[in-house]
């Protein structure tokens, strides 16, 4: 009944701290994959804080809504993964626009901590509502046909879907960074953040840019949600499990910096991956140790602008 497991290729291997090199390379690659996911998830948060000075604690719930949107699109309308990748972020991004218009607009001139408290409350409400309606066990969602299976790399088996995650994350991260740092639209946005009055005087509709930027950040969160649906359990609490880690990533990277969040996301994925090998129980906590150390040495994060 239980056949002998077929293992990985039996190459010559050397050991690093007692772990065979094969296993280590496998863990590093996994760490990189997770890192790309963290980078994508923290990208939205970094855009919103960097551009708008809003600390968006609803991010976890919006990520969750992205995953749920993918599930609902499939089960009620029959729209599959590939279209959901585009539709879900737009839908959830629209809810973000609503949130900004209804709530966040009023907090524009206040200390960002108020925005944090409000978005935290919104996150609780959204998660609670979803849980009341859908229960906590989670909903099934499969990896799309085209990406199923994987290839044996010799030191580990790499699922095709995970390779896709890296590719898409890198693409989206780079595109976002480019759009904000290198295009004219991005420069309007950065200018509007620093000096809204002056930019308005040039005839640019600043409030609308703010709203759309928030919606964009939220859309990024939802995109990460759609990408997570096939591999992580689609449940109402999936966001709150991750939000605090994502937050730490953004803080370490520097709260104004897009590139900081991306690089930190990747770095953190790798460090966490290594921790999972040598001291797995601490893999959730290592990021906080790093955050404390970084904040003590460089108060604005690794790449941030000064507070």
Partner 1 sequence: MTPTGRLAFAVAALMCSVAAAQAQEDDVVKIGVLTDMSSLYSDIGGPGSVAAAKLAVEDFNPAAHGMKVEVISGDHQNKPDIGANLARQWYDVDHVDVIVDVPTSSVALAISEITREKNKVFLGSGPASSDLTGPKCSPNTIQWTYDTWMLANGTGKAVVKTGGDTWFFLTADYAFGQALERDTTKVVLANGGKVLGSVRHPLQTSDFSSFLLQAQASKAKIIGLANAGGDTVNAIKQGAEFGVTSGGQHFAGLLVFINDIEALSLKTAQGLVLTETWYWDMTDANRAFTKRWQASRPGKFPSMVPAGVYSSVIHYLKAVAALKSDTDGRAVVAKMKEMPTDDALFGKGSIRADGRKLHDAYLFEVKAPDESKYQGDDYKLRATIPAAEAFRPLKDGGCPLIGG
Partner 2 sequence: MERVIEPPVLARQRETSWSLTAAFVVMVAIFAIGPFVVYPVFLMKALCFALFACAFNLLIGYVGLISFGHAMFFGWASYVTAYAAKSWGWPPELAIIVGTAAAAVLGVVAGSLAIRRQGIYFAMITLALAQMLYFFALQAKFTGGEDGIQGVPRGHLFGVFDLSNEMTMYLFILVVFLAGFLLIYRIINSPFGEVLKAIRENEQRAISLGYKTERYKLVAFVLSATLAGLAGSLNSLVFQLASLTDVHWSMSGDVVLMTLLGGLGTVFGPVVGAFLVIAMENYLAPFGQWVLVIQGAIFVVCVLLFRRGIVGELAQVLRVQL
Residues that bind partner 2 (CB under 8 A): 55, 103, 106-107, 109-114, 116-118, 120-129, 131-132, 244, 247-248, 251, 255, 281-282, 284-285, 288-289, 291-292, 295-296, 299-300, 307
Closest CB 136 distance from partner 1, rounded Å: 5
Nearer to partner 1, 162 or 176 (CB): 162
235 binds partner 1 (CB under 8 A): yes
Of positions 18, 78, 203, 280, contacts partner 1 by CB under 8 A: 280
Which residue has 């991956």 as its token pair?
273
Euclidean distance between CA atoms 300 and 307, whole angstroms: 6
Q: What's the sign of the alpha-carbon dihedral 38, 40, 41, 45?
A: positive
Closest CB 70 distance from partner 1, rounded Å: 15
Closest CB 253 distance from partner 2, rounded Å: 12
Nearer to partner 2, 88 or 126 (CB): 126
Report in angstroms the alpha-carbon separations of 251 from 102, 123, 204, 231, 299. 27, 19, 30, 27, 10
CB 263 within 8 A of CB 303: yes
Of positions 237, 259, 288, 300, contacts partner 1 by CB under 8 A: 237
- CB under 8 A: which stretch of 15-23, 45-53, 98-106, 256-264 binds partner 1? 15-23
Burial class (CB in 10 A: 0-12, 13-18, 19+), 141: buried
φ, ψ dihedrals at 262, nearest 5°: -65, -50
Of positions 83, 103, 212, 241, contacts partner 1 by CB under 8 A: 241
Record the tokens describing residue 240, joined without a space: 């709150």
266 binds partner 1 (CB under 8 A): no
Closest CB 53 distance from partner 2, rounded Å: 10
Closest CB 140 distance from partner 2, rounded Å: 23
Closest CB 248 distance from partner 1, rounded Å: 15
Closest CB 119 distance from partner 1, rounded Å: 20
Residue 16, helix vs strand vs coil:
strand
20 binds partner 1 (CB under 8 A): yes
CB neighbours of residue 48 within 10 Å: 29
CB 301 within 8 A of CB 247: no
Strand 19-20 relative to strand 150-152: parallel, antiparallel, unpaired?
Answer: unpaired
Nearer to partner 2, 70 or 294 (CB): 294
Closest CB 259 distance from partner 2, rounded Å: 19
Euclidean distance between CA atoms 245 and 258, whole angstroms: 17
Interacting residues with partner 1 between 59 and 118 (CB under 8 A): none
Strand 15-16 relative to strand 150-152: parallel, antiparallel, unpaired?
Answer: unpaired
Nearer to partner 2, 149 or 299 (CB): 299
Across the strands, what pairs with 151?
A: 158
Euclidean distance between CA atoms 209 and 260, whole angstroms: 23
φ, ψ dihedrals at 152, nearest 5°: -85, 115
Of positions 9, 106, 140, 146, contacts partner 1 by CB under 8 A: 140
Residues that bind partner 1 (CB under 8 A): 1-8, 20, 22-23, 26-27, 30-31, 33-34, 128, 131, 135-140, 142-143, 149-150, 156-157, 159, 161-162, 228, 230-233, 235, 237-238, 241-242, 273, 276-277, 280-285
């Amino acid at each position: 009944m239980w056949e002998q497991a077929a293992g990985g290729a039996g190459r010559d291997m050397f050991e690093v701290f007692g772990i065979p090199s094969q296993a280590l390379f496998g863990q590093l690659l996994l760490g990189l994959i997770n890192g790309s996911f963290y980078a994508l998830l923290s990208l939205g948060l970094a855009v919103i804080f960097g551009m708008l000075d809003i600390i968006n604690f609803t991010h976890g719930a919006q990520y969750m809504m992205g995953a749920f949107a993918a599930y609902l699109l499939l089960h009620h309308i029959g729209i599959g993964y590939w279209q959901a990748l585009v539709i879900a972020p737009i839908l959830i991004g629209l809810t973000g626009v609503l949130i900004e218009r209804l709530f966040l607009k009023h907090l524009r001139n206040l200390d960002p901590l108020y925005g944090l408290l409000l978005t935290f409350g919104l996150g609780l409400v959204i998660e609670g509502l979803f849980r009341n309606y859908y229960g906590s066990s989670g909903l099934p969602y499969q990896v799309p046909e085209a990406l199923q299976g994987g290839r044996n790399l010799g030191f580990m088996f790499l699922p095709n879907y995970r390779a896709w995650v890296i590719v898409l994350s890198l693409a989206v991260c780079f595109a976002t960074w480019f759009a904000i740092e290198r295009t004219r639209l991005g420069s309007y946005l950065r200018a509007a953040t620093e000096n809204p009055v002056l930019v308005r005087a040039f005839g640019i509709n600043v409030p609308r840019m703010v709203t759309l930027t928030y919606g964009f950040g939220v859309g990024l969160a939802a995109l990460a949600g759609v990408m997570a649906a096939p591999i992580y359990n689609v449940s109402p609490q999936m966001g709150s499990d991750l939000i605090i880690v994502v937050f730490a990533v953004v803080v370490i990277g520097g709260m104004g910096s897009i590139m900081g969040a991306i690089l930190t996301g990747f770095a953190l994925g790798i460090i966490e991956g290594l921790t999972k090998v040598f001291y797995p129980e601490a893999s959730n906590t290592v990021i906080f140790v790093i955050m404390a150390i970084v904040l003590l040495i460089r108060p604005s994060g690794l790449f941030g602008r000064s507070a």
